């Protein structure tokens, strides 16, 4: 069937890119850290601790292992086909057009909705920080309607504005994006290291008992609890590392630098997550986070009496989540650019601005949609959709490595995932385990999104595909 027509690696490598190659290994590592370190530490640790107790560190490790095995598969594909598009392009090579479109559609959901979700957390920290200085934003402009029970809110203005600001930054060039991201990541890491140094002395080992109060999987107060459900929750923290592979056409020597950037950013981020969660659940009893759900780190600072650190941590949180939004919107713009270049999206999304050498129009289109989502939509009920979309992408990339090794074993690969076929199979099994930890409502919403995507494919993309021509 022509819906399974595939792109050839040799044809991809012949294409010339209008994008500017400036990214090196450290830039990619900082892109990865910028995407990973942020919401997980500054927001999700509270909800995760209430779900798994001190065993949250194990939940982070499980999510990291899942991403690590998937990351090895991404690294192989990135060295095999160093072009923009990430899982979308890899699926086009391995499985064919309709699968590629579906995963590209999923990635749009991942990046746009993910950026919007993080912008809401960013807004909360900014409002809190400004209040410390006596600056108060009207409550009705701090959250979407229906977000906070008993409080009248209409629009999240800070979330809307930060997404627009980052959209502008990405649209005016990769060099500007790179410099801003690198600077913010360095400051963010300094803040995290300072927090670790100042709080590690206050750990009380008694707070780690019981270490896993809900076991691996159980039900508590009518909701799933334990290490596995918590891993499904904090998996959101690692979303975005795959966007590093979207930078292939803007990377110098991508077959070598992309694998390094993907794997090293994952390793550094995982170590920081485990250290931070052990400290936080060691300093305070995990049940305390009920009162600090939106800013769990403040519970630790309150317990240790180091309120002077709260402003510094709030600044670190704001910068941390800014880089997450930046990398996700960056990945979004490159996915839509790749799909437009292949004819699956209208040419509008693939238009490259001659002055800035970026997909200017597509960047602003999806950036504006993400800003509106952050401003108007209650994202609490939608955020898990990002997880299921990403896990689906991980499964396809991991399976794609198996397919390509079998189908075209002689193709040059600058990096090979070790231990085939075990590595991709483990990645797939971990992803399935995390998917099973999600609520059934998430699957209903995902199927609706999936169906809408199929209507677009058969209504527009199939006929306009470059391969069809």
Which pLDDT score, from 0 to 100, does residue 207 have? 94
Residue of 239 and 451 predicted with greater confidence: 451
Which pLDDT score, from 0 to 100, does residue 193 have? 93
- Asked if pLDDT for residue 427 goes beyond 60, the answer is yes
Looking at the structure of the chain, the number of domains it has is 1
Which pLDDT score, from 0 to 100, does residue 236 have? 75
Q: How confident is the model at residue 380 (pLDDT cuts 50, 70, 90)?
A: low
Q: Per-residue pLDDT averaged across 252-277, rounded?
A: 88
Residue 80: closest CA among 247, 236, 294, 256: 256
pLDDT, one tens digit per residue, over 281-335 is: 999 999 998 888 777 888 888 888 887 888 888 888 888 889 889 888 988 888 8
**Cβ(44)–Cβ(276) below 8 Å:** no
Q: How many CB atoms lie within 10 A of CB 282?
A: 21
Q: How confident is the model at residue 363 (pLDDT cuts 50, 70, 90)?
A: very high
Longest Cα pair distance anywhere in the chain, in angstroms? 67
Residue 76 lies in a domain: yes
Q: How confident is the model at residue 367 (pLDDT cuts 50, 70, 90)?
A: very high
Residue 469 lies in a domain: no
Which pLDDT score, from 0 to 100, does residue 383 have? 63
Record the tokens describing residue 172, joined without a space.
């005016």
Residue 449 lies in a domain: yes
- Asked if pLDDT for residue 2 goes beyond 80, the answer is yes
Which pLDDT score, from 0 to 100, does residue 456 have? 94
Q: From CA 261, how far away is CA 29, in angstroms rounded?
A: 4
Residue 289 lies in a domain: yes
Q: How confident is the model at residue 255 (pLDDT cuts 50, 70, 90)?
A: confident
Q: How confident is the model at residue 381 (pLDDT cuts 50, 70, 90)?
A: low
Q: Per-residue pLDDT averaged across 19-37, rounded?
A: 85
Q: Which domain, by its residues, includes 249?
A: 2-464
Q: Which of 13-27, 61-75, 299-313 has the highest mean pLDDT?
A: 61-75
Q: How confident is the model at residue 54 (pLDDT cuts 50, 70, 90)?
A: very high
Determine the 3-state secondary structure of 168 from DSSP. Answer: helix
pLDDT, one tens digit per residue, over 159-184 is: 999 999 999 999 987 777 888 888 98
Query: Cα dihedral angle (114, 112, 68, 73), rounded to 10 degrees?
Result: 160
Record the tokens describing residue 127, joined without a space.
């409002």
Residue 156 lies in a domain: yes
pLDDT, one tens digit per residue, over 125-162 is: 888 888 878 888 898 888 887 776 777 888 899 999 99
Q: How confident is the model at residue 256 (pLDDT cuts 50, 70, 90)?
A: confident
Mean pLDDT of the chain: 86
Q: How confident is the model at residue 426 (pLDDT cuts 50, 70, 90)?
A: very high
Which pLDDT score, from 0 to 100, does residue 382 have? 63
Identify the CATH number of the domain in which residue 263 sits: 1.20.1740.10
How many CA atoms does the CB half-sphere of 30 hold within 13 Å?
Answer: 20
Q: How far is CA 145 from the centre of its chain?
A: 25
Q: Tell me the pTM.
A: 0.86
What is the end-to-end Cα distance of the chain in Å, rounded? 15
Q: From CA 357, how far away is CA 286, in angstroms rounded?
A: 48
pLDDT, one tens digit per residue, over 87-99 is: 899 999 999 999 9
Which pLDDT score, from 0 to 100, does residue 273 have? 92
Residue of 440 and 233 predicted with greater confidence: 233
Q: From CA 146, how far away is CA 397, in angstroms rounded?
A: 38
Residue 288 lies in a domain: yes
Residue 118 lies in a domain: yes
- Asked if pLDDT for residue 434 goes beyond 70, the answer is yes
Distinct helix (H) and strand (E) counts, the chain: 19, 2
Q: How confident is the model at residue 379 (pLDDT cuts 50, 70, 90)?
A: low
Which pLDDT score, from 0 to 100, does residue 302 have? 83
């Amino acid at each position: 069937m022509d819906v399974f027509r595939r792109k050839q690696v040799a044809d991809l490598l012949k294409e010339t890119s209008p994008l500017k190659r400036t990214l090196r290994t450290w830039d990619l590592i900082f892109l990865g850290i910028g995407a990973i370190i942020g919401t997980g530490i500054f927001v999700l640790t509270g909800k995760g601790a209430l779900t798994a107790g001190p065993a949250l560190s194990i939940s982070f490790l499980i999510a990291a292992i899942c991403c690590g095995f998937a990351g090895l598969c991404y690294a192989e594909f990135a060295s095999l086909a160093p072009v923009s598009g990430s899982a979308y392009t890899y699926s086009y090579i391995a499985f064919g057009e309709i699968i590629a479109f579906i995963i590209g559609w999923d990635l749009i959901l991942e990046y746009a909705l993910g950026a919007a979700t993080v912008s809401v957390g960013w807004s909360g920290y900014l409002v809190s920080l400004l209040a410390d200085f006596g600056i108060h934003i009207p409550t009705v402009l701090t959250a979407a309607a229906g977000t906070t029970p008993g409080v009248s809110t209409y629009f999240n203005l800070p979330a809307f504005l930060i997404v627009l600001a980052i959209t502008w930054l990405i649209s005016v060039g990769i060099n500007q994006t790179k410099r801003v991201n690198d600077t913010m990541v360095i400051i963010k890491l300094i803040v995290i290291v300072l927090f670790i140094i100042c709080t590690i002395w206050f750990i009380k080992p008694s707070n780690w008992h019981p270490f896993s109060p809900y076991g691996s999987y159980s039900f508590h107060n009518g909701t799933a609890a334990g290490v596995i459900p918590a891993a499904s929750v904090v998996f959101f923290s690692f979303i975005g590392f795959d966007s590093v592979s979207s930078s292939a056409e803007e990377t110098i020597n991508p077959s070598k630098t992309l694998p390094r950037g993907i794997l090293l950013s994952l390793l550094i981020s995982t170590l920081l997550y485990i250290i931070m969660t052990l400290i936080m659940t060691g300093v305070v009893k995990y049940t305390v986070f009920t009162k600090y759900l939106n800013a769990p780190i403040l519970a630790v600072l309150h317990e240790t009496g180091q309120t002077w650190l709260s402003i510094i941590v709030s600044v670190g949180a704001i910068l941390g989540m800014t880089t997450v939004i930046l990398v996700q919107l960056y990945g979004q713009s490159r996915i839509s650019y790749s799909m437009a270049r292949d004819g699956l999206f209208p040419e509008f999304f693939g238009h490259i601005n001659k002055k800035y050498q970026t997909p200017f129009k597509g960047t602003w289109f999806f950036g504006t949609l993400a800003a509106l989502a952050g401003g108007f939509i209650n994202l609490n009920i939608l955020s898990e959709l990002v997880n299921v979309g990403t896990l689906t992408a991980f499964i396809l990339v991991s399976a794609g490595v198996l397919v390509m090794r079998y189908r075209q074993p002689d193709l040059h690969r600058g990096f090979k995932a070790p231990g085939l076929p075990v590595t991709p199979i483990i990645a797939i099994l971990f992803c399935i385990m995390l998917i099973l930890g999600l609520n059934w409502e998430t699957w209903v919403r995902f199927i609706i999104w999936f169906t809408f995507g199929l209507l677009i494919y058969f209504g527009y993309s199939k006929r306009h595909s470059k391969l069809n021509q």
